[in-house]
Amino acid sequence: MANGNNESIVILDGGRRTPRADILIDNKKPGMFSRFSATQLGGMAIKATLERTNIDAGLIGHVVMGMAQQSHRDSIYGAQGMRWRGGLDNDVPALTVARICGSGAEALAVGAEMMLAGVRHDQDVKLWSQDDQKGVRVMANADLSRINTNIAALNALNALREVNSKLALHQLRLATGRRINSAGDDPAGMTFAKKLDSRARGLAVARDIIGDVQNLTAVAEGGVQQISEILITMKEKILQAASDTIGTSERAAVESQLDDFAAEIDQIVQSTIWGGVTLLDGTYTGKQFQVGEQATDTLAFSISQDHRAAALSVADSDLDVTTTAAASTSLSNVNAALNTITTSLQSVGSVSARMAVKEANISVAINNVVASYSRIYNADMAMEQLEATKYLVLQQTATAMLAQANLAPQNILSLIRG
């Protein structure tokens, strides 16, 4: 038979015809070689092709498979499908796969020659492969009979240099913790990462500003709350004076206490300050807060109501409880002041609530932006360690092979001695 083992050699390729492959096929013994397109690798299609070409499936000894690098995985699956899902007998011998990066048909011819040369079952023949995506690299053919230029050593040296370069890259990533250490490592990734970093840091500043706004509104709310408590107490005292159950001296005592409360209101307004600016005297208006990382992410804020006693109509001159009628008028003033204070509390509280929502939203955004930045910019330490270990081993093997290649030309001496 064609390979000396009474077995056919089945060639799987993309259907392209090259002279080298055609010579092998055309000079075969009848039925010993067959050629299938890569589009026919699946299951029953292969079985049908075998039947059409009158090849006995039980005589299949080797499958030579050539493919471009990017289709390697699919082709391997196709070969397995031929054996296990193609309807063939379970006793079909193990597949032998020749993996070649480059021309499919030319690679098949090389693979077929290797099979005819005696490559055995269950042997994975790897003629050439590249685990990265930097294109096809063709090594120079070594000629041991010419010793002025040691091609084999140069090939080994080139492989060693490439391994050293990759090892240095992974070691740098392990040392810095970053996948991108310079723009040349990943220009697009560097651009994305810097934009994400800028956004994350801007959002972090905006979150801090929001915290400051919350503190400001809390100070203002505290002052308004205290004024509200004083007004409620003033109302209680005026209600007592609005009844004829108390005498003149008692009214005078109430009047004096009301005057002290009005003075305390003014003191609270004067001491409610943020950043050197009084918040409750009606002058804190037209303010703007940056609550995001974009120029338009702003919040306008004002406390336009004057909370001093005179503005609330609860000053010394506004309140009189010497008679029940005067007390009733004073009670109306205090009730109106309480309504004003309630409106101020609602306004300040609304801003504070909005800030709490914004802070939570920005915190979520920061976490996700930082996570995306980290995925692009930072190194996967486990993967980098795995790669570094691989290239450390390859470095040792490449060095050993370079040493052997340097010694290979000495074999020529045997010709001279002979």
d(CA 370, CA 373): 5
Full-model pTM: 0.59
Q: With cut-offs at 50, 70 and 90, classify the pLDDT of residue 140.
A: low
Q: What is the pLDDT of residue 63?
A: 43
Closest CA to 153 of 399, 397, 323: 399
Q: With cut-offs at 50, 70 and 90, classify the pLDDT of residue 343.
A: very high
Give pLDDT tens digits for 55-92: 444 444 444 444 333 333 334 334 443 333 333 333 33
CA distances 128 to 69, 72, 98, 393, Å, are: 10, 12, 9, 19
Average pLDDT over residues 261-279: 94
Q: Is the dihedral of CA 163, 169, 172, 176 positive or negative?
A: negative
- Res 222 pLDDT > 90: yes
Closest CA to 312 of 236, 221, 254, 227: 227
33 SS3 class: strand
**CA 26 from chain center: how many Å?**
55
Within 101-186, residue ranges assigned H as helices are 104-116, 151-176
- Res 124 pLDDT > 70: no
- Res 362 pLDDT > 50: yes
Mean pLDDT of the chain: 75
* Terminal Cα-to-Cα distance of the chain (whole angstroms): 39
Q: With cut-offs at 50, 70 and 90, classify the pLDDT of residue 20.
A: very low
